[in-house]
Amino acid sequence: MSALPPGSTIGILGGGQLGRMLAMSAAQLGYRCHIFAPERESVAAEVSASFTCANWHDTEALTQFAQDCDVITYEFENVPVGPLAKLPQDMLAPAPRALEVAQDRAREKRFIQDAGGTPADFVAIDHDSELADAVERIGVPGILKTRRDGYDGKGQWSINERADAQGVRIPESGCVYEARMNFECEFSVILVRGRDGEVRFWDSTRNRHDDGILAHCELPAPAIVAAQVEQARDMARKVANALNYIGVLTLEFFATAGGPVFNEMAPRVHNSGHWTIEGAVTSQFENHIRAICGLPLGTTDSTSAKIMMDNLIGEGALDLARHLSRPGAHVHLYGKSEARAGRKMGHVTRVG
- Does 145 carry a binding-site annotation? yes
- Does 336 carry a binding-site annotation? no
- Does 212 carry a binding-site annotation? no
- Does 152 carry a binding-site annotation? yes
Q: 163-168, long-range: CB within 8 Å, 24+ apart, which pairs? A: 164/140, 165/131, 165/132, 165/135, 168/128, 168/131, 168/144
Q: Whose CA is closest to 141, among 152, 126, 156?
A: 156
Which residues have a Cβ under 8 Å from the Cβ of 197 and sit 6 or more positions away? 241
The answer to whether the bond into 220 is cis (omega within 30° of 0) is: yes
Burial of 299 (0-12, 13-18, 19+ CB in 10 A): exposed
- Does 186 carry a binding-site annotation? yes
- Does 174 carry a binding-site annotation? no
In angstroms, the CA 200 to CA 233 distance is 10
In angstroms, the CA 291 to CA 284 distance is 10
**Cβ–Cβ under 8 Å, residues 1 and 294:** yes
- Does 108 carry a binding-site annotation? no
In angstroms, the CA 73 to CA 102 distance is 15
- Does 346 carry a binding-site annotation? no
- Does 154 carry a binding-site annotation? yes
Residue 264, strand partner residues: 252
User: Could you tell me which residues are annotated as the binding site for ATP?
Assistant: 105, 145, 150-156, 186, 209, 263-264
Binding-site annotation: residue ranges: 105, 145, 150-156, 186, 209, 263-264
